[in-house]
Amino acid sequence: MREIVLDTETTGLDPSDGHRLVEIGGIELYNCIPTGQVFHRYIDPQRDIPESAYEVHGLSREFLAGKPLFEHIAEEFLAFVGDAKLVIHNAEFDMSFLNSELQRAGRPAIGTDRAVDTLTLARRRHPGLPNSLDALCARYGIDNSRRTKHGALLDAEILAEVYAELNGGRQAALLLAAGDIRVERPEIIVVRQRLQPLEPRVTPDEMSSHARFVELLGKNALWLSYIHGAPQQSADWRKTA
């Protein structure tokens, strides 16, 4: 299942008061595994940045001047999210800004039924406890030391780890594997080899008995194709036969 972990930064708290998006960050997941595909854009809000907002994300009017308008990245954004579910912490906030910008750009709104709100998931799992993104990182032992300021892409990366925990833990999502898992298309299955092969459970006597049994099956036996695909193992078996 394809999902997009999404976060935004804005000039304020309510788009109905004229506040706008200034940054969008998204990470593609396939079956809860990050694929390496991301979407990240800064946006010119065409308005001032209140000091209270600047203190949160550190994006100044000077920095954002000349960045693309949302209407210029709308098509690219919609193509990236496609019909995937959107995993968002406090989804109502981000969805209201996204749909306000889409409306300005003459694009259809994204249905709220497509949003997976991790704040709601966390409240169900940890009722009565703090469930901010920072609180969840502390609870699950997720390193968020880089988060000195809010940033859409960084917060999306952290939220992807939190989402994995809310779905049963990082091991279930294969996030404990060394290195990043990167796929270009969802249909690709990533296979990792063990650094240290497991010790064989089959004894030499059992391998010898099996080799003698396979020889009785004749030259067209399917087992011979398998053995020939593993020449070292085949040689070992024949030495013990």
Residue 37 phi/psi, 5-degree rounding, is -85, 125
Number of helices (H), then strands (E), belonging to the chain: the values are 10, 5
Which residue of the set 40, 72, 150, 228 is catalytic?
150
Q: Is 150 a catalytic residue?
A: yes
Distance CA 148, CA 94 (A): 21
Q: Give Rg (Cα) of the chain.
A: 26
Query: Listing from the earlier edge strand, what are the strands of the sheet with 2-10?
Result: 33-42, 21-30, 2-10, 85-88, 115-117
- Comparing CA positions, the residue from 57, 114, 62 lying closest to residue 88 is 114
Active-site residue set: 150
